[in-house]
Chain A
Amino acid sequence: MYTFSSKLKIFSIVLIILGAIGVGIGFSTSHKSFEEVETLLAEESHHGGHGEADAHHAPAHDTHAKEAAHGDAHNEHHAEAEHGHVDEHAKHIEHVQHQIANRPWSALYVAAFFFMMIALGCLAFYAIQIASQAGWSPVLFRVMEAITAYLLPGALIVLLIAAASHFIGHNNIFIWMDPEVVAHDKLIQGKSGWLNIWGFIFRGLIFIGGWSLYRHFARKFSIAQDTAEDKSNFKKSFRIAAGFLVFFIYTESMMSWDWIMSVDPHWFSTLFGWYVFASMFVSGITAIALVTLYLKSRGYLEFVNANHLHDVAKFMFAISIFWTYLWFSQFMLIWYSNIPEEVTYFISRFNDYQLPFLGMVVLNFVFPILMLMNADYKRMPWFVVMTGIVILFGHYIDIFNMIMPATVGDRWSIGIPEIGAILLFAGLFIYVVFTALTKAPLLAKGYPLIKESEEFHY
């Protein structure tokens, strides 16, 4: 049995408190009045500190200049143009005001989704191991079960933040939740059969219900099998794993439309569900590797050897490449055809998010492919830990890139609200996962393939 060390417990609680303070600071500094934003923008354009801000001003000035040229001949036109410029100025400031207000919400949402997705990816991996009757991984089942314990609270928090952004906030994450916006937007009106707040909540609850139900019973059968006389729990576990995987691939896809793709309600992509899946799958596997190595270093998993680590690292390596394949397929198809209604998605990411957008390809592809290609490196714990941390950071940036451009636009940064939210959910994740680890023996000894797994060598 594992005992939650008091040091780690205090560490996770400290993370939660620090994170909560950071999130609080984020929310308290994001409410800026019209005048405050106006002076902020004036200062920025004066100092020229924000290239993005200048770019934002440029179109307004351009139209003004053009209109002014006309105005030489027609004075009344000139007056109209002046008027239009003032309107545009006010609109611009309101736009920026919204973006600033959206930032703490999005920061919270990105971090909440990221940690939820680790648990969900891990659950999918667990179900695949059981359904495929893998012989190498049963020694890691209890670690996987513990990580998936975060799924229920984590997913509920994601849904709660999304709903709260509508009911408490000002639709800070999903603009389609704003009836004001929908009233003036034919495209969103056409999608309102799917994109409406109650449908969103209802579907979310079904997804979470289905996943948690599987997790609950898989865990129950797994623990029951430890002391069972026959293999009936194993058989049941196998059957529900197969059923869950079918349910999962449908709901995961729909979840990615609802929870992520709908932040850009004008944009759509068919392989998006797969893309999000690859991201969560590799993060989940990486989390398994990191938790396993932590427990092993504390002497709790003496039955896990370098061969198990090697296999987990192979999965990290392969799914990182799979993620890149999907990322590139999505990007390249849209870049190549360059259809305006699709390509704006990448234009905004390329212009305003160049470093995170291209940086994550280095973190999620170049780094793992070079670090984990060698068979010997995959067996070295510190190497896998280092690569794992880079992969997890890279996939946080991935989610960041999916959400932020739609909500805060060029007003992004990784500062107190973002880091606070990461710490908050990291602390919660550690607390929930390691508490779940104490609830059952770390070796699923009743599992029929456990002997094979203990003696697994590659």
Chain B
Amino acid sequence: MEASKVIHAIYNDDDVLMSAVKKVRAEKHHIEEIYTPFPVHGLDKAMGLEGTRIAICAFLYGLVGLTVAITMMNFIMIEDWPQNIGGKPSFSYIENMPAFVPIMFELTVFFAAHLMVITFYLRSRMWPFKKAENPDPRTTDDHFLMEIGVHGNEDALETLLKETGAVEIKLVDKAH
């Protein structure tokens, strides 16, 4: 459930942030989002985020690339116009396969890499001219921001966050 009001708690140390995340989660509050200037090792585990499946995507894309390479070269070199080029056997795909391996390899990597990157952009909603969603510009420099939805438990949350070492706590109305 998307809360209309959120609390922004700002930290200036990633270790403090990590312990804060654990405490907030132990108190069963829902963390909507965390903004950090750099990857904090173990933050995803502490937040209880699911593992990414992008590697599985990349594997499947690689298989697509391999299929494209094989189908393309089989059609061009073997079926459509099987010329004798420098005595290379063009009677069947397997006979001339070693010559195709460099292309099979490169297309596998090409498809796996590029489609995976595009998948990453789509899933994380990144594109040119996209409006930045940063609640506080300091989080790109040296501050960490935790966003927690408020469901009428404002005071309890504030005291909890103070305890965890937040240097700044703000109540933000998201409704407008």
Q: Is the CB of A335 within 8 A of B98?
A: yes
How many chain B residues have a CB neighbour from A under 8 Å?
6
Mask: chain A, 18-33; 1 = CB below 8 Å from B; 0 = not: 0000000000000000
Mask: chain A, 303-347; 1 = CB below 8 Å from B; 0 = not: 000000000000000000000000010011001101000000000
Those of A351-397 within 8 Å (CB) of chain B:
373, 375
Q: Given the complex, which residues of B lie within 8 Å of A331, measured CB to CB?
A: 98
Q: Is the CB of A332 within 8 A of B101?
A: yes
Q: Is the CB of B101 within 8 A of A328?
A: yes
Interface contacts (Cβ under 8 Å), in number, total 12
Nearest CB in chain A: distance from B64 CB, A: 16
Q: In the complex, A373 Cα to B56 Cα: how many Å?
A: 10
* CB of B99 within 8 Å of the partner chain: yes
Nearest CB in chain B: distance from A119 CB, A: 33
Q: Is the CB of A373 within 8 A of B98?
A: no
Q: Is the CB of A338 within 8 A of B87?
A: yes
Q: In the complex, A31 Cα to B55 Cα: how many Å?
A: 58
B102's closest neighbor in chain A, by CB? A332
Q: In the complex, A190 Cα to B87 Cα: how many Å?
A: 32
Q: Is the CB of B98 within 8 A of A336?
A: yes
Q: In the complex, A335 Cα to B101 Cα: how many Å?
A: 13
How many chain A residues have a CB neighbour from B under 8 Å?
8
Q: Given the complex, which residues of B lie within 8 Å of A332, measured CB to CB?
A: 98-99, 101
* CB of B110 within 8 Å of the partner chain: no
Q: In the complex, A329 Cα to B59 Cα: how many Å?
A: 24
Q: Is the CB of B87 within 8 A of A373?
A: no
Nearest CB in chain B: distance from A313 CB, A: 16
Q: Given the complex, which residues of B lie within 8 Å of A328, measured CB to CB?
A: 98, 101
B99's closest neighbor in chain A, by CB? A336
Q: Given the complex, which residues of A lie within 8 Å of B99, measured CB to CB?
A: 332, 336
Those of B78-93 within 8 Å (CB) of chain A:
87
Q: In the complex, A335 Cα to B99 Cα: how many Å?
A: 9
Mask: chain B, 128-142; 1 = CB below 8 Å from A; 0 = not: 000000000000000
Q: Is the CB of A373 within 8 A of B101?
A: no
Q: In the complex, A188 Cα to B53 Cα: how many Å?
A: 58
Q: In the complex, A336 Cα to B101 Cα: how many Å?
A: 12
Q: Given the complex, which residues of B lie within 8 Å of A375, measured CB to CB?
A: 55
Nearest CB in chain B: distance from A367 CB, A: 16
Nearest CB in chain B: distance from A354 CB, A: 13
Q: Given the complex, which residues of A lie within 8 Å of B55, measured CB to CB?
A: 375
A332's closest neighbor in chain B, by CB? B98
A375's closest neighbor in chain B, by CB? B55
Nearest CB in chain B: distance from A281 CB, A: 22
Nearest CB in chain B: distance from A252 CB, A: 27
Nearest CB in chain B: distance from A453 CB, A: 18
Q: In the complex, A338 Cα to B88 Cα: how many Å?
A: 10
Mask: chain B, 61-83; 1 = CB below 8 Å from A; 0 = not: 00000000000000000000000
Q: Given the complex, which residues of A lie within 8 Å of B101, measured CB to CB?
A: 328, 332
Q: Given the complex, which residues of A lie within 8 Å of B87, measured CB to CB?
A: 338
Q: Which of A335, A338, A373 contacts B59 (CB 8 A)?
A: A373
Q: In the complex, A7 Cα to B19 Cα: how many Å?
A: 50
Q: In the complex, A381 Cα to B55 Cα: how many Å?
A: 22
Nearest CB in chain A: distance from B73 CB, A: 15
Nearest CB in chain B: distance from A197 CB, A: 38
Mask: chain A, 54-96; 1 = CB below 8 Å from B; 0 = not: 0000000000000000000000000000000000000000000
Q: Given the complex, which residues of A lie within 8 Å of B59, measured CB to CB?
A: 373
Those of A226-243 within 8 Å (CB) of chain B:
none
Q: In the complex, A435 Cα to B101 Cα: how many Å?
A: 46
Q: Given the complex, which residues of A lie within 8 Å of B98, measured CB to CB?
A: 328, 331-332, 335-336
12 residue pairs A–B, Cβ–Cβ below 8 Å: A328-B98, A328-B101, A331-B98, A332-B98, A332-B99, A332-B101, A335-B98, A336-B98, A336-B99, A338-B87, A373-B59, A375-B55
Sample of 7 further A-B pairs with CB below 8 A, known A335-B98, A338-B87, A375-B55: A328-B98, A328-B101, A332-B98, A332-B99, A336-B98, A336-B99, A373-B59
Question: Which A residues form the contact surface with B (CB < 8 A)?
Answer: 328, 331-332, 335-336, 338, 373, 375
